[in-house]
C-alpha cells in the first residue's frame, strides 16, 4: 500500500505471524466468541498491523476497538483504514491535522458473477469494462475503489453510500481513479465531498486501491 499513499500516511502490511498475533483485551472483547477461525485471523492481523502503524506515529499501546458498524475506533488525533482479503491484510493511519480520512482496500483479482457486477457498477461502468476484452477482472477494480470511497464517505458524512451512488472513472495508464457522487445524494448530504480521487494497482492475483482526503 505504500506505493498508493503519500508518505505522511503510515502503512503496515501483515506478515504471516501477524495473523497469529495477540489482541489486547479491549480488542478481543469486540470479537464474537462464535467467530470462525478465518474471521479471528483477519481481525487479529488487522489490529496488529493498525497498532504497529499507529506506533510509527508515536501512538503506542492503544487498543483499537470497534464501533457499532464494526468500523475501527481510531485514537484521538488519528484516522485510518484496515483491509483484508484471503491471505492479505493491511492498515493505514494518519494524523488528523494532515488528513481528514484515509481509505484502503484489497480484493483478489477475480471475475465477479454477472449479478454482483451489476450491483457494483453503473451501466456506463459495465460498458467501459466490456470494452477491455480479455480483462474480465476490471469490475473487481471498481469494487475495490468503491469500497475505498465508502471508507472515506462514512466517517466524513456518517451515512450509507451505495455502490451506484458513486460514478467511477479510471485512468489505466496513470493507475488513478476519480469517483463523483450522485448529485441526488449530495442534495441530502449538505457539505459532503462531491468527488474523491485515488490510486489503484492490479497484480496477477490482487487488486489494491487507496485514497486520502487532506485536511
Taken in order of first residue, the domains within the chain and their CATH numbers are: 2-96 (3.90.470.20), 105-214 (3.90.470)
Task: Tell me the binding residues for Mg(2+).
Answer: 105-107
pLDDT at 69: 84
Phi-psi region at 73: left, alpha or beta (left = phi > 0; alpha = psi -120 to 50) = beta
pLDDT at 151: 97
pLDDT at 133: 87
Q: Which residues contact 146 (CB under 8 A, 6 or more apart)?
A: 120, 163, 166, 168, 179
Cα-to-chain-centroid distance, residue 179: 14
pLDDT at 55: 97
Q: Which residues contact 22 (CB under 8 A, 6 or more apart)?
A: 44, 48
pLDDT at 104: 98
Task: Tell me the binding residues for CoA.
Answer: 39, 47, 83-84, 105, 147, 151, 161
pLDDT at 58: 96
- Partnered with residue 72 across adjacent β-strands are 66
pLDDT at 90: 98
Walk along the chain (215 residues) and give the pLDDT tens digit of each residue.
989 999 999 999 999 999 999 999 999 998 888 889 999 999 999 999 999 999 999 999 999 999 888 889 999 999 999 999 999 999 999 999 899 999 999 999 999 999 999 999 999 999 999 999 899 999 999 999 999 999 999 999 999 999 999 999 999 999 999 999 999 999 999 999 999 999 999 999 999 999 999 98
pLDDT at 85: 95
The rounded distance, in Å, linking the Cα atoms of 146 and 4 is 15
Whether the Cβ atoms of residue 159 and residue 189 lie closer than 8 Å to each other: yes
| Strand ranges for the chain from DSSP E | 10-13, 78-85, 88-95, 99-108, 166-171, 176-181, 195-202, 206-214
Maximum Cα–Cα distance for the chain, whole Å?
51
pLDDT at 201: 98
Task: Tell me the binding residues.
Answer: 39, 47, 83-84, 105-107, 147, 151, 161
Whether the Cβ atoms of residue 95 and residue 9 lie closer than 8 Å to each other: no
Amino acid at each position: 500500500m505504500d506505493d498508493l499513499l503519500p508518505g505522511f500516511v503510515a502503512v503496515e502490511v501483515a506478515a504471516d505471524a501477524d495473523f497469529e498475533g495477540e489482541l489486547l483485551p479491549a480488542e478481543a472483547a469486540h470479537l464474537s466468541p462464535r467467530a470462525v477461525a478465518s474471521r479471528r485471523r483477519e481481525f487479529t492481523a488487522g489490529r496488529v498491523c493498525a497498532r504497529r502503524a499507529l506506533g510509527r506515529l508515536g501512538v503506542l499501546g492503544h487498543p483499537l476497538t470497534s464501533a457499532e458498524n464494526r468500523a475501527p475506533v481510531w485514537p484521538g488525533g488519528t484516522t485510518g483504514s484496515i483491509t483484508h482479503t484471503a491471505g492479505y491484510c493491511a492498515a493505514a493511519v494518519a494524523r488528523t491535522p494532515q488528513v481528514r480520512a484515509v481509505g484502503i482496500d484489497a480484493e483478489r483479482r477475480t471475475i465477479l458473477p454477472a449479478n454482483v457486477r451489476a450491483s457494483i457498477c453503473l451501466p456506463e461502468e459495465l460498458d467501459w469494462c466490456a470494452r477491455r476484452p480479455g480483462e474480465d477482472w476490471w469490475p473487481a477494480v471498481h469494487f475495490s475503489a468503491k469500497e475505498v470511497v465508502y471508507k472515506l464517505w462514512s466517517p466524513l458524512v456518517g451515512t450509507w453510500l451505495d455502490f451506484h451512488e458513486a460514478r467511477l472513472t479510471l485512468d489505466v495508464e496513470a493507475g488513478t481513479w476519480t469517483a463523483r457522487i450522485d448529485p441526488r445524494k449530495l442534495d441530502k448530504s449538505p457539505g459532503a465531498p462531491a468527488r474523491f480521487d485515488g490510486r489503484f494497482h492490479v497484480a496477477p492475483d490482487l487488486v489494491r486501491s487507496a485514497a486520502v482526503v487532506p485536511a
